[in-house]
Amino acid sequence: METIRLNTGIELPIIGSGTNTFGKENRDYMGKINGDTTEIETAITAGYRHFDTAISYRNESVVASGIAKSGIPRSKFFITSKLPGKPEYTSNEAAVQKGVEESLRTLKTDYIDLFLIHHPWNNPEEITSVWKVLEKYTDKGVLKAIGVSNFNEEQLKHLLDHSRIKPAVNQIESHPGLWNDDIIAYSLENNIVPEAWGPLTRVSPEAKKILTSIGEEYGKTWAQIILRYQLDRGVVVIPKSHNEERQKQNLDLFDFELTEEQKNKIAQL
């Protein structure tokens, strides 16, 4: 697996697995946690070592169990979790600490590779205060890197202006229905790695037809073309699939290269 070096110096696998419906009844985001680790296990067998979860997903324990069942050392995995932008996790230092400690306990680990503020809220000063607590955990090595999710340029700039440790990652929505070019460019300009959640969602029939046509030249699916395009422009991807074969396909991106003409066509979708 190829990696990218974050501004903290650690290596982030450029393809990870989303998990927000893993280990839940009916594969429903709001479904009851059933503890099923099947998708984690098949992903690990396929070669995934980068998993993205969050306190709000309620399934950090499922990710932890799947990793434990693999028998592969924790050090071989890159785990991301996220702090909700809710008062019970943000109102003061103790609330932030509660969130971090909760994740550590549920993930059954003494460190987290990447910890994100899950989403911004309308209180820049409080966001800065939360960030300062995360910086302390980074100083101690408990959080190896910290970042944000769903921050726009203004929100990211405020944090950059008021932080001691620069965000390592900005995880944002990016797919053919919304490439989000501007915030991706701004993140890259500031040495912050953009990471796409939901990279295979909101693909119109027209877009899928164009992507499938491009894929036929390489023996690749429309989904693989999307993911390759994102990687080519410096965006880490965290596709999610419950299907073992598609999990494998989402990793199989390194034996072809898109032409500039193809990339320009994809950018217009």
* pLDDT tier, 39 (very low <50, low <70, confident <90, very high otherwise): very high
Region 197-210 average pLDDT = 95
**Token pair belonging to 76:** 């071989």
Question: How far apart are alpha carbons 114 and 98 in whole angstroms?
Answer: 17
Q: Mind listing the pLDDT tens digit for each residue in 106-165? A: 999 999 999 999 999 999 999 999 999 999 999 999 999 999 999 999 999 999 999 999
Task: Please identify which of the residues 29, 48, 57, 229 carries the catalytic annotation.
Answer: 57
* pLDDT tier, 192 (very low <50, low <70, confident <90, very high otherwise): very high
Q: What is the DSSP letter of 57?
A: G
pTM: 0.95
Q: Mind listing the pLDDT tens digit for each residue in 57-107? A: 999 999 999 999 999 999 999 999 999 999 999 999 999 999 999 999 999
Active site residue 229: no
CA distances from 35 to 38, 48, 148, 207, 263 (A): 9, 19, 27, 36, 40
Q: What is the DSSP letter of 122?
A: S
CB 194 within 8 A of CB 187: yes
Across 99-131, b (16+ Cβ under 10 Å) vs e yields bbeebbebbebebbbbbbbbbbbeeeeebebbb
CA distances from 161 to 124, 143, 154, 165 (A): 11, 21, 11, 10
Q: What is the pLDDT of residue 93?
A: 97
Q: What is the pLDDT of residue 145?
A: 98
Q: What is the pLDDT of residue 80?
A: 98
Domain 3-204+229-258, CATH among 3.40.50.740, 3.20.20.100, 3.40.50.300, 3.30.930.10: 3.20.20.100
Q: What is the pLDDT of residue 200?
A: 96
Q: What is the pLDDT of residue 153?
A: 96
Q: What is the pLDDT of residue 43?
A: 98
Q: What is the pLDDT of residue 128?
A: 97
CB 41 within 8 A of CB 69: yes
Instruction: Work out whether the CA dihedral 19, 130, 181, 234 comes out positive or negative.
Output: negative
Nearest to 178 by CA among 216, 154, 207: 207
